[in-house]
Chain A
Amino acid sequence: MGPRWASGGKRNEEQGHEGEKKPKPQYVSAFRALSGYIREHALGFAAVFGCTLIAILSDLLQPYLMKIAIDDNLLAGVNDYKGLLLICIVYFAFSASSFFFTYLQNNLLQRIGQSIVAAVRKRLFSHILKQSMSYFDRMSGGSLITHVSSDTEALNQFFSQVLLSLFRDGLTLVFIIVMMFQLDAGLATYCLFILPVIFVIAVLFRSYMRETYQQARTRLSRLIAFVAENLAGMNLIQVFHQQKEQERQFQERNGVYFKANIREVRTHVLFGRTFDILSTLCIAFVTWIGGWAVLGKQMEFGVLYAFITYIRQFFNPINTITQQWNTLQSATVAVSRIWSVLDSKPAVNDSEEGMAEVELNRVKGEIRFDDVTFSYREGHPVITNLNLVIKPGELIGIVGATGAGKSSLISLLCRFYDVDRGSIRIDGTDIRDIPQRSLHRMVGLVQQEPYLYSGTIIENITLFDDSISREDVIAACRFVGAESVVERLSNGYDTRLSERGSGLSAGERQLLSFARIIVFQPPILILDEATANLDSYSEELIQRALNLVSAGRTTLVIAHRLSTIMGADRILVMDKGKVVEQGKHRELLARGGYYAKLYSHSQGGGDSALYESLTEKADAIN
């Protein structure tokens, strides 16, 4: 058991490293990956661009219009009120159109972005679903969920925030500069010198802010985890009278979080104020230089007014754009992660030719292993030269220590993996020549931990397939003896199960998974430790259901409790990837070999090593 712990620790360490190491965003390849989607919506993006242009116009023109009003109307001493009114009308028209086009632009962009993100999500999900089991062994469930939810959400933010800001703020910035040059090239040139300074300061501050923000977030999530755990274990804390000690530990974490918060607040305030000071500095500078120019009659006052307003407007887009920088980075990383998932090819594929769907009710259920050799890692075969014939309808029990190859045998039969050498045939057809869909329907599997979805009892048995009638489900439940369990529930067959079927005992959950088998009618059935972990009553219940379900099907039963398989037509005893003994219970006992030894251990005698190795598996799966 030691190695299992150790490997668990190692995996976590690796994940930890992954989290710390910041992957370098690869902008070019990420953009290339998305380009297909973007090209598809080229027209839409062009429309968004157009809308943005009109939308920002009124904001940009306002100082310019004011300048005209001041210089041409007010300062010129011409009492041209009509001109002024015209300016007002023009300005208001621009504002109204800005209102309309801002709305349009936001909605349009969101619509495009959402349809791309939804497409990526669906593609990613169905791609992952297509992968063979070895892929799921390799990838942790957590990281796959991250890809589907967080990474695609980062992509979504790219569209709804980054792109929006790039369009809007980028264009605003460009136009402000153009306007400034239009007004006074000399003064504009001076102002442009400040631009890089602002950018550098903003970017530096942003990355520092991000750091403090993340530190606070990490500490917060540790605090939450601590509280959640303590709330869950409060009973224990009180029974051990450890309230004081736990509170001390809480205050320690709370204090650390507080410090991180204050640091974040300080950075935040400092950043905002620095930006304000920079903006004032610019205005003072422009007033000074511009004021002299106005005095020297090189410039009109209206131009100066417009300049000052533009300078003030200048800071907003820069601020927002730098804000997007971090989002852009994480979106880029997310895109490259998503595409690395999309690049993986399923290890098990349907061969091209002769892939006729198989009719389930014509399958007899004869299984033949011909000289099968298989290894997860090259050079370490877990199954070597295995030959085995299972007759249709036979009930086979499989026993053996952990690592004997029992589960691998099952995985090969389900074609979760492909054999290295040899072949596996069902009714004479190599399983590689059977479409995976048909094969999977043909071979049913009941696992130790029955997996239930959040849905009603009916949905859990039909697996959300509407084409299966309610009557069939009820009949199946009645058949396996789950009827009384279901009737006890508040809404009968329409009771919603939550969180992996909580509210039902392990045995009751297993009964439901037997009902599934009855509904789907696979001609071949595999039970992988399906009766482990049950109390005596439930075990009896399940044993009874098992006998009903296995009738008329070729059935393979893996069990660590010998009592489960003692009545099998044939028991296979596996060791080191080979079948070392086979026969009926009595024959094997009489032989006095490995099986007889296992049996006497399970009866409670002898040293514990062997038995423990058997039960270890049950422990490990827990």
Chain B
Amino acid sequence: MENNPRLLVHFFRQAWPVYALSLSLHFIANLIHVYYPRVLGQFADMLQLGELTRSLVLDYSLLLLLIGIGHVVFSGTAMYLVMYVGRRFESILRGKLFRHFTGMSERFYSSNGVGKLLSYFMNDVSAVRESIAMGFNATSNAVMLFAAALVMMITSGIPLYLIAACIAPMLLIPFIVVKLGPVIRTRSREVQESLGAMTDMAEEQFGGIRVTKKFAVEPIMKGRFGRAVDQITANQLRLVKVSSFFHALIPLLGTLALVIALALGGYLAINGGLSLGSFVALTLYVRMLMNPLQQIGNVVNSIQRSRASLQRLNELLSQSPDIVETEGAVTVDLAKADITLNHLTFAYQPEGRPVLKNIQLSVAAGTTLGIVGKTGSGKTTLMKLLLRTYDPPPGSIAYGGVDVRDMALENLREGIAYVPQDGFLFSTTIGENIAFYRRDAESGRVEEAARQASIFQQIAELPDRFQSKLGERGLTLSGGQRQRTSLARGLIKKAPIMILDDSVSAVDAVTERKILSSIAKERKGKTTIIIAHRISAVKHADLIIVLDEGAIVQQGTHDELLSKDGFYRELYAIQEGGMRHGSQMGEWRET
């Protein structure tokens, strides 16, 4: 762990008093604990010598009780303390990670999937916590007990060679744990994976049940499922082979130690080289040590795992966000700011194919810009650059003459209302989703925005209206409903600039028209950028640009573009005159 000190050093600098306290408590607890065999040994010796009385017997039992309770109280407290700080560490680290995540830009998210980030958040954090809590407890307990027991045995006159002979087989235990532990782990992971594969297959099968039934391929699907089940069985059996070997081997080593104690110790006891009490104590000590030795093995394994986790976490936290505010960032009044794009060329990878090529464009404050183009023509990338979720090349995008890279992020993002295409909503109430920019917005404004997005009526019909919860434990919205809610979330901001990224694509034509007219009313005199697949959405824009393979191929107003040959007119023909395909159908069939 020494090679990645940052996270843990910080933690231990704060938590060391707790650890010190816990360690001393462990020490005391085990010091008490090792007296237990000794007391029983003395009891046996007294008995053998005939010095035992009834009151002494009572004293001895009370002493045993006291030892038991003392050990329990001290070791319990020691364990609890460290487990508590471990959980605390986990909680703080997760908070730190979350904050780190909120600072990372889209580039980071596109190279790390949610699943991978979640595994940092869950598995790696837990692995580290386990080492510093459970690992510490087990190690300190085992080491203390081992040392104390050793000292006890030596001081009670048990010959050193006898102790060594008894302990020798048990010293193999940690090695076996270290050796077999990872094998067991790998195999049990394989079992989990095959279980997961079966679950996925069941999910897929039940989801596609209509296909399976309609093509009458049930026997084939049963065969596939059967193979997945057999794989689980095979993996389980593979696992049990190692795990049962392991679970049988550890006690065997323990009994081996006992047999040696019995044979060698008994021999000495018979020949008078060892008192009966010491002999009794020895057998008890041997039993006592089995558990901690096994735990040491576990700790070694868990530390190995968590070392990798710790390294991953440190690496993650040392990544710095690539979108940062420059020092002395400027605030621009976006309501009066023209947007200018100056020779904007952009590629996601430094050496990669440019997604946008030499874009030259100026949007006057208060006007509406329409953007059309095929999927993959660079429309969404352009929006991302305008929002600075990716950094454009210096000097290529400016608001009111100020480079976007020199603007305060808060100024930029609070000044732009962005409505994404996918209509991503959070699992909270509809009202909170709409009022996302300011959770405490008054209900009147929320309702107004919902009306403008033509979703008010449908929300009003819900039993809990705006308080209805969305997501897994709540409602599921259709694509169109999600888009309209997301639109309301953008409209409520009444921001100086608004960007609609194909925001009404899943809405039917009639509703679309209603929404577009309410947007036009709301956005009168404010800068608005509309990306769309359908011509109907951009028809009334002051300026329309057509993007193709990252370059502007046409620009002008709707009427201007229609009067020219080109992509725009083609698209218009397909969409508005779409009926001709239907009539062609019959003709094709006849040929």
Contact = CB atoms under 8 A, between A and B. Distances in A.
7 contacts: A9-B463, A58-B255, A62-B258, A81-B266, A88-B266, A243-B103, A258-B91
Given A265-B83, A563-B581, A241 B413 contact: yes
B481 A129 contact: no
A193 interface: no
A147 B440 CA distance: 43
A447 B583 CA distance: 23
Given A231-B114, A566-B582, A454 B98 contact: no
Interface string A12-30: 1000100000000000000
A516 B215 contact: yes
Q: Is the interface of A mostly helix, strand, loop or mixed?
A: helix
Given A262-B84, A273-B72, A125 B225 contact: yes
Interface stretch (B142-150, B466-474, B551-559): B466-474
A502 interface: no
Contacts of B94: 254
A445 interface: yes
B200 A443 contact: no
Nearest to A270: B76
Interface string A79-99: 111001101100110011011
A129 B212 contact: yes
A236 B48 CA distance: 81
Interface stretch (B3-11, B202-210, B347-355): B202-210
Given A75-B48, A106-B247, A238-B389, A92 B84 contact: no
Interface stretch (B158-166, B216-224, B363-371): B216-224
B97 to A, nearest CB: 9
Given A9-B474, A228-B114, A269-B83, A136 B209 contact: yes
Given A277-B72, A280-B64, A103 B244 contact: yes
B175 interface: no
A280 B32 CA distance: 13
Interface stretch (B228-236, B309-317, B399-407): B228-236
B472 A99 contact: no
B415 to A, nearest CB: 10
A125 B202 contact: yes
Contacts of A226: 427
A1 B481 contact: yes
B509 A107 contact: no
Nearest to B98: A250
A283 B571 contact: no
A509 B410 CA distance: 41
Contact of A9 (B69, B468, B585): B468
A281 B216 contact: no
B373 to A, nearest CB: 12
B263 interface: yes
Given A16-B473, A98-B252, A276-B72, A257 B91 contact: yes
Contacts of B330: none
Given A103-B248, A265-B84, A250 B95 contact: yes
B80 A5 contact: no
B240 interface: yes
Interface in B41-85: 43-44, 47-48, 52-54, 57-58, 60-62, 64-65, 67-69, 71-73, 75-76, 79-80, 83-84
Nearest to A65: B262
A479 interface: no
Given A81-B266, A565-B582, A536 B218 contact: no
A69 interface: yes
B12 interface: no
Q: Closest 9 interchain pairs by CB?
A: A280-B68, A566-B582, A567-B585, A2-B461, A106-B244, A291-B57, A615-B508, A622-B479, A608-B510
Given A128-B206, A447-B210, A547-B588, A69 B426 contact: no
A364 interface: no
A608 B61 CA distance: 90
Contacts of B473: 12, 16
A102 interface: yes
A350 interface: no
B91 A240 contact: no
Contacts, number: 448
Given A9-B475, A240-B413, A73 B427 contact: no
A111 B102 CA distance: 49
Given A136-B209, A242-B436, A441 B427 contact: no
Contacts of A126: 218, 222
B507 to A, nearest CB: 8
Contacts of A238: 102, 105, 389, 413
A533 B478 CA distance: 12
B549 interface: no
A453 B208 contact: yes
A483 interface: no
B433 to A, nearest CB: 10
B308 interface: no
A2 B461 CA distance: 6
Contacts of B331: none
Contact of A107 (B198, B241, B578, B583): B241
B210 A133 contact: yes
Contacts of B213: 133, 414, 416, 440
Interface in A201-233: 224-233
A459 to B, nearest CB: 10
Nearest to B46: A291
Contacts of B247: 102, 106
Contacts of B584: 547, 567
A284 B64 contact: yes
B61 A288 contact: yes
Contacts of B101: 227, 230-231, 234
Interface string A413-426: 01010000000000
A158 to B, nearest CB: 14
Contacts of A591: none
B81 to A, nearest CB: 10
B221 A121 contact: no
Contact of B40 (A121, A251, A308): A308
Contacts of B40: 287, 305, 308
A245 interface: yes
A301 interface: yes
Contacts of A363: none
Nearest to A80: B270
Given A149-B195, A247-B102, 7 more contacts: A58-B255, A110-B236, A243-B103, A258-B88, A283-B65, A295-B52, A563-B579
A99 B508 contact: no
Contact of A225 (B58, B241, B416, B472): B472
A535 interface: yes
